[in-house]
């Protein structure tokens, strides 16, 4: 379903990703953990080319994203093609990034109406259904500023789902939420995973990862250092750095 | 001595009222041209390609760096030397409009850069092209930020339009001067003209207030203060403009 191969990324002289490989099967939930600065968010952003990889490639369902074979080398596709390919990949951001001049309903409808050219009435019905799915059917007319962080993030999830993506990327979706709102967002994500959505999640919520993930990856210094099932990785990490990181985030000493 | 009778006589002079109407029409026309030039230049200056950015930067540099009065005279009296003959009204519209565009380009660009990066990324992530992102997400939000300085720019333009009198366009100031040449009531007639300008800018002030209220209707108290801070920055840029 999602295949990333040899992803390298530089920010100036900073070598942020050093050849990351990842294969995600349909319906699989993969959680990426690791210390800040390990490149996990950047890696997630290279999957839909929000950050274009300097080397390596990404395939969604076998189709190369953002690149095509040129005469001698791989070249970037046009903006229109890249935009079309991105429809298959939903993304949820740490800062929600809801369109601040639109109501919750319009936020969810924006993609279908503007990108897929869905009729407004159909898009509105679909958007209402999605808002109900994330438990916010009564907030359709609210503007982002009138919603709590947790509500905004749930609208953002509905907005991504409205494009019927094949895979959902979550970039630290609960990191800027007040503690009491973390649960409502994680619950929506857990429901999604149980409905068979393919998901790649960058998070610090180890308990959630243990519960929802099929596989956990530990990233450090731009590499995947260790990966395994939650039981293997959380209860029985082999790598010394993974052990140290887990001790720190679970509050152990 | 101050002559009240002359003052009141010219206060409702049709000749001057027409002149004021012409000033207003010239300002509106120049603003429309300015908005078109400004939007184009702003978009060009935000391009990733140097070859698109540079001509726009050159335009802004050139027209902000020379007095609009000089530009008007060059267009009306200088260009015919190159075989380009423009009428008074065309010259005034073109000169004021293109000059205004250089300032509006900066206002528009500042407004667009004030839209948080995350808005752009979220739009791109749901598959919007760059153009759709600009149209649907960035511009409507930038507009909210741009409207106050844009209104101030139009206020300034209504006054700057008096410069068209120099190339003999018979707008309010020119007509005032023509009247004075036959009536010699300098102070009275100039005060009337000043009052007309004041009336135009004051009425515009009400319109601007309405527009601002309209475009910030979805904003609640918390973010209104955030927008204010940005508006003050932009207002500063416009004030410098007015001073020139």
ipTM: 0.92
For B98-144, the pLDDT digits (tens) are 999 999 999 999 999 999 999 999 999 999 999 999 999 999 999 88
For B18-36, the pLDDT digits (tens) are 999 999 999 999 999 999 9
Nearest of A91, A77, A237 to residue A163 by alpha carbon: A91
Instruction: State the pLDDT at residue A162.
Output: 96
In this structure, is residue A132 part of a structural domain?
yes
In this predicted structure, the answer to whether residue B230 has a pLDDT above a threshold of 70 is: no
B25 CA to centre of own chain:
13
In this structure, is residue A187 part of a structural domain?
no
For A179-196, the pLDDT digits (tens) are 889 999 999 999 999 999
CATH assignment of the domain containing B60:
1.10.3720.10
Is B125 within 8 Å of A115 when comparing Cβ atoms? no
In this structure, is residue A148 part of a structural domain?
yes
In this structure, is residue B195 part of a structural domain?
no
Question: What average pLDDT does chain A have?
Answer: 93
> CB pairs below 8 Å between A and B: how many?
77
**Position with higher pLDDT, B184 vs A134:** A134
In this structure, is residue B6 part of a structural domain?
no
In this structure, is residue A106 part of a structural domain?
yes
**Position with higher pLDDT, B221 vs A174:** A174
Is B122 within 8 Å of A145 when comparing Cβ atoms? no
Nearest of A149, A42, A41 to residue A95 by alpha carbon: A149
Chain A residues with beta carbon closer than 8 angstroms to that of B127: 83-84, 86-87, 111, 115, 163
In this structure, is residue A49 part of a structural domain?
no
**Position with higher pLDDT, A249 vs B143:** B143
- Structurally, chain B folds into a number of domains equal to 1
In this structure, is residue B236 part of a structural domain?
yes
d(CA A218, CA A249): 13
In this structure, is residue A141 part of a structural domain?
yes
Which residue do the tokens 């409502």 mark?
A184
In this structure, is residue A193 part of a structural domain?
no
Q: What band does A72 get if pLDDT is binned at 50, 70 and 90?
A: confident
DSSP letter for B119, please.
H
In this structure, is residue A151 part of a structural domain?
yes
For A218-230, the pLDDT digits (tens) are 999 999 999 999 9
- Structurally, chain A folds into a number of domains equal to 1
Domain of residue B71 covers 24-171+219-243
Instruction: State the pLDDT at residue A172.
Output: 95
For A155-166, the pLDDT digits (tens) are 999 999 999 999
Is B128 within 8 Å of A48 when comparing Cβ atoms? no
A51-74 mean pLDDT: 91
Domain of residue A147 covers 99-164
In this structure, is residue B106 part of a structural domain?
yes
Percent of all residues in chain B with a pLDDT value above 70, rounded to a whole number: 89
For testing contact with chain A, the best of B119, B124, B127 (most A CBs within 10 A): B127
The alpha-carbon gap from B29 to the nearest alpha carbon of chain A, in Å, equals 30
pTM of the model: 0.81
Which residue do the tokens 């679970």 mark?
A250
């Amino acid at each position: 379903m999602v295949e990333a191969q040899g992803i390298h990324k530089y920010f100036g002289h900073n070598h942020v990703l050093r050849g990351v490989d990842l294969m995600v099967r349909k319906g699989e939930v993969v959680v990426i953990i690791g210390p800040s600065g390990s490149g996990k968010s950047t890696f997630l952003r290279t999957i839909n080319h929000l950050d274009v990889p300097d080397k390596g490639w990404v395939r969604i369902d076998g189709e190369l994203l953002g690149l095509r074979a040129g005469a001698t080398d791989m070249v970037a596709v046009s903006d229109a093609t890249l935009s079309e390919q991105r429809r298959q990949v939903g993304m949820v951001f740490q800062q929600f990034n809801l369109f601040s001049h639109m109501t919750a309903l319009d936020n969810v409808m924006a993609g279908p109406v503007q990108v897929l050219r869905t009729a407004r009435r159909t898009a509105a019905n679909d958007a209402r259904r999605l808002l109900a799915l994330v438990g916010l059917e009564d907030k359709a007319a609210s503007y982002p500023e009138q919603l709590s962080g947790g509500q905004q993030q749930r609208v953002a999830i509905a907005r991504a789902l409205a494009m019927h993506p094949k895979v959902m990327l979550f970039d630290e979706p609960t990191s800027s939420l007040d503690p009491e709102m973390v649960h409502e967002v994680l619950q929506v994500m857990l429901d999604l995973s149980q409905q068979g959505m393919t998901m790649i999640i960058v998070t610090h919520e180890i308990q959630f990862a243990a519960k929802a993930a099929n596989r956990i990856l530990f990233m450090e210094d731009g590499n995947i250092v260790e990966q395994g099932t939650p039981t293997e990785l959380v209860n029985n990490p082999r790598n010394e750095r993974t052990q140290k990181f887990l001790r720190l985030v679970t509050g152990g000493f | 001595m101050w002559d009240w009778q002359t003052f009141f006589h010219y206060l409702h002079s049709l000749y001057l009222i027409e002149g004021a109407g012409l000033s207003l029409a010239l300002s509106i026309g120049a603003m429309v041209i300015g908005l078109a030039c400004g939007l184009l230049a702003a978009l060009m200056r935000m391009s990733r390609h140097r070859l698109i950015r540079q001509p726009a930067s050159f335009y802004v540099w050139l027209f902000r760096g020379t007095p609009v009065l000089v530009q008007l005279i060059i267009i009306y009296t200088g260009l015919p030397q190159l075989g380009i003959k423009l009428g008074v009204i065309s010259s005034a519209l073109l000169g004021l409009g293109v000059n205004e565009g250089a300032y509006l380009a900066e206002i528009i660009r500042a407004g667009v850069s004030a839209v948080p990066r995350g808005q752009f990324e979220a739009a791109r992530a749901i598959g919007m092209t760059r153009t759709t992102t600009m149209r649907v997400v960035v511009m409507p939000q930038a507009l909210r930020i741009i409207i106050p300085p844009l209104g101030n720019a139009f206020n300034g333009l209504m006054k700057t339009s008096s410069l068209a009198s120099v190339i003999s366009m018979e707008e309010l100031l020119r007509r005032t001067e023509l009247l004075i040449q036959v009536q010699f009531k300098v102070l009275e007639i100039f005060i009337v003209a000043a009052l007309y300008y004041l009336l135009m800018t004051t009425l515009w002030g009400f319109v601007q207030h309405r527009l601002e209220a309209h475009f910030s209707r979805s904003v609640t108290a918390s973010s209104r203060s955030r927008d204010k801070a940005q508006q003050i920055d932009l207002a500063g840029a416009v004030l410098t403009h007015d001073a020139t």
